A and B are shown apart, each in its own frame.
Chain A
Amino acid sequence: MMRAVQIFLVAALGCMPAITPSHAQSLAADLATHVIDITSGFSGTEILLFGSAEEDGHVLVAISGPKEEIVVRKKRRIGGIWINRESIVFRGVPSFYAVNTSVPLVEMASRETLKELGILPANLPYSVEGEFSQAEQHDFFAGLIRNKEVALLYRVTEGTISYVRKGLFRTTFRFPANAPTGTYTANIHFFRNGELLETQSSPLFINKSGIERIVFELAHQQPAIYGIVAILLAVAGGWIAAAVFRRT
């Protein structure tokens, strides 16, 4: 098998300017579904990812959500009360970020390698607004990660990719009810001897649908109409209640 891959690679080298990972064969994986619909009953969901990989390596899957601008604030105690003081605005931060691995991270790759590749929350690339020292940025970004973890939007779980049988793996990702809508990307990485050999990507879309979508879109695109609808509904509700209970 390995020899076959090598032969293929050599052949590919001969006719192509560069090898793109998709032409290698040590990895093939995909999500079981590519769309999550948020409806009124949505309370979070799980998504299955499965695939095949060479046995002499390790698999790491990172799913990242749509990038967002996010402000991190630090509270200080003033007059006995905890008040938000300093803040840093981070740009280009994934709103959701989850990593599953087949083995503990130490066996996967060195810290430096993971850092170079931008894998793991602490290694995510970002930009900040304004002038802040490295230490400050690091502190605030660590605070961002902790808050995201509490909200179940960031999580790293080692050893959660299991092998169904030789070469066939599966893993599940949990998406909480507060998972942001938008386009997600699942990056499936294949490591051997601490080196990244291959990466495959697979998209995932989280959308609001049904009544939830109608309400959300009206609120953001036609806020004046939305406000009037909200008032009319409340007036009607109050009036109906008064009418119904007057008779009984």
Chain B
Amino acid sequence: MQIYLPIAELSLNIFLILGMGGAVGFLSGMFGVGGGFLMTPLLIFVGIPPAVAVATEANQIVAASVSGVIAHWRRGNVDFKMGFVLLIGGAVGSTVGTLIFRVLREMGQIDLVISITFVVFLGIIGSLMLVESVRMIIRSRRKGAPRRKLHIHYWVHGLPFRMRFHKSKLYISVLPPLAVGFLVGVLAAIMGVGGGFIMVPAMIYLLGMPTAVVVGTSLFQIIFVTANVTFLHSVTNQTVDIVLALLLLSGAVIGAQFGARVGVKLKGEQLRALLALTVLLVCAKLFFDLVAVPTDTFSIGPVIGR
């Protein structure tokens, strides 16, 4: 059954869209990742214009994050004060990111930049995940794993404008969280991702936040950042496809529930290695499309910016 997408202006099989939402939702439920970094490339692969894929995926992540943050909020695992500082950076970053997106689109370079940023980030994340999971698999076969240091103090924490974050048990400068929020905001606007894959490691290793509050706080600020991205893309580019977003999120929320249940039962490391390989595969495909000789060196597009 085909469904016409009013903003993408093409028709796709409705079960393909629901299936993609379900599959990515399943992975995100199982591993607790956002899924945007897989969904945006998938949408591009099935023929959705990259600009529409990015803006629409940002809209869908609003839903995924709301649904995810509720559970963390109930358990008290959201540091609202830290979340607020992060999202100030995120609001500025996503606004700047949308402006960059617009300029690149007028120049005809947005597809290229989206692909390159995905190749870079998927390559890094996929490799790190793969190495980490292989190391864990090897370690789980040995006994007596070494203990990791609990808290490391970096020079960035000593920068001016210190603030106390009770929930995270931190007294650090607000500049690093603002910077992290800004960077993730820019990426959210250009890639249509929540940025959890950068936010979470940055919170743990750079800011030194306790692991328990990291995911909830990250999700909390992602809601506002992706909402801002959705709004700004709607206003400046008219590329948010509500119909596509609704279909994706219906598939994703159901997939996420199943994923979460399966994730509890199965042993994680092999699956994590599998996710890492999936990420690297998507990265390889995008990279191949960048370097392969195109079927036609000429391409056409609408005139933007008048």
Residues of B within 8 A of A230 (CB): 59, 230-231, 234, 240, 242, 245
User: Is the CB–CB distance between B4 and A227 below 8 Å?
Assistant: no
A177 CA to B68 CA in the complex, in Å? 36
A142 CA to B60 CA in the complex, in Å? 39
Encoded as 1 (CB less than 8 Å from any B CB) or 0, chain A from 45 to 70 comes to 00000000000000000000000111
* A103 vs chain B, min Cβ distance (A): 31
Segment at the interface with A among B170-178, B208-216, B297-305: B297-305
A69 CA to B302 CA in the complex, in Å? 7
* B96 vs chain A, min Cβ distance (A): 18
Segment at the interface with A among B81-89, B122-130, B184-192, B288-296: B288-296
User: Is the CB–CB distance between B302 and A215 below 8 Å?
Assistant: no
Residues of B within 8 A of A211 (CB): 6, 243
A89 CA to B301 CA in the complex, in Å? 10
User: Is the CB–CB distance between A224 and B108 below 8 Å?
Assistant: no
Given A74-B298, A146-B296, A219-B238, also A238-B249 (CB < 8 A): yes
User: Is the CB–CB distance between A73 and B298 below 8 Å?
Assistant: yes
Residues of B within 8 A of A147 (CB): 296, 298-300
Query: Does B120 sit at the interface, judged by CB under 8 A?
Result: no
Residues of B within 8 A of A68 (CB): 302
Residues of B within 8 A of A132 (CB): none
Residues of B within 8 A of A235 (CB): 62-63, 66, 223, 227
Task: Tell me whether chain B's interface is mostly helix, strand or loop, or mixed.
Answer: helix
User: Is the CB–CB distance between A237 and B230 below 8 Å?
Assistant: no
User: Is the CB–CB distance between A223 and B298 below 8 Å?
Assistant: no
Chain A interface extent, by class: 35 or more
In-complex Cβ contact of A75 among B10, B62, B299 (8 A):
B299
Given A87-B108, A241-B253, also A74-B63 (CB < 8 A): no
Residue in chain A with minimal CB distance to B295: A150
In-complex Cβ contact of B231 among A43, A178, A213, A224 (8 A):
A224
The B192-248 residues at the A interface (CB cut-off 8 A) are 223, 227, 230-235, 238, 240, 242-243, 245-246
User: Is the CB–CB distance between B298 and A234 below 8 Å?
Assistant: no
Residues of A within 8 A of B159 (CB): none
Interface centre among B234, B297, B301 (most CB of A within 10 A): B234
User: Is the CB–CB distance between A177 and B63 below 8 Å?
Assistant: no
User: Is the CB–CB distance between B250 and A237 below 8 Å?
Assistant: yes
Query: Does B28 sit at the interface, judged by CB under 8 A?
Result: no
Given A40-B4, A212-B6, also A238-B253 (CB < 8 A): yes
* A135 vs chain B, min Cβ distance (A): 14
Interface centre among A41, A81, A84, A216 (most CB of B within 10 A): A84
A235 CA to B232 CA in the complex, in Å? 17
A86 CA to B257 CA in the complex, in Å? 48
A74 CA to B299 CA in the complex, in Å? 7
User: Is the CB–CB distance between A216 and B6 below 8 Å?
Assistant: yes
* A178 vs chain B, min Cβ distance (A): 5
In-complex Cβ contact of B298 among A38, A72, A237, A239 (8 A):
A72
Interface centre among A75, A143, A235, A237 (most CB of B within 10 A): A237
A241 CA to B4 CA in the complex, in Å? 25
User: Is the CB–CB distance between B250 and A219 below 8 Å?
Assistant: no
A212 CA to B243 CA in the complex, in Å? 9
Residue in chain A with minimal CB distance to B66: A238
Interface centre among A42, A70, A230 (most CB of B within 10 A): A230
Given A219-B234, A227-B234, also A83-B59 (CB < 8 A): no
* A142 vs chain B, min Cβ distance (A): 8
Encoded as 1 (CB less than 8 Å from any B CB) or 0, chain A from 225 to 238 comes to 01111110111011
Residues of A within 8 A of B1 (CB): 41
Query: Does B11 sit at the interface, judged by CB under 8 A?
Result: yes
Query: Does B70 sit at the interface, judged by CB under 8 A?
Result: yes
Given A40-B4, A84-B109, A226-B240, also A148-B246 (CB < 8 A): no
In-complex Cβ contact of B108 among A73, A80, A150, A229 (8 A):
A73
* A65 vs chain B, min Cβ distance (A): 13
In-complex Cβ contact of B70 among A42, A146, A239 (8 A):
A239
Given A71-B301, A230-B245, also A177-B11 (CB < 8 A): yes
Residues of B within 8 A of A239 (CB): 66-67, 70
Query: Does B77 sit at the interface, judged by CB under 8 A?
Result: no
A230 CA to B290 CA in the complex, in Å? 32
A234 CA to B177 CA in the complex, in Å? 26
* B246 vs chain A, min Cβ distance (A): 7
User: Is the CB–CB distance between B70 and A227 below 8 Å?
Assistant: no
User: Is the CB–CB distance between A219 and B7 below 8 Å?
Assistant: yes
Q: Which residues of B contact A (CB under 8 A)?
A: 1-4, 6-7, 9-11, 59-60, 62-68, 70-71, 108-109, 112, 116, 223, 227, 230-235, 238, 240, 242-243, 245-246, 249-250, 253-254, 256-257, 290-294, 296-303
- List 20 interface pairs A-B (beta carbons < 8 Å), by A numbering: A43-B4, A70-B301, A70-B302, A73-B300, A75-B298, A81-B116, A83-B112, A143-B297, A143-B300, A144-B298, A150-B296, A178-B9, A224-B235, A226-B242, A228-B231, A233-B245, A234-B66, A237-B249, A239-B67, A241-B253
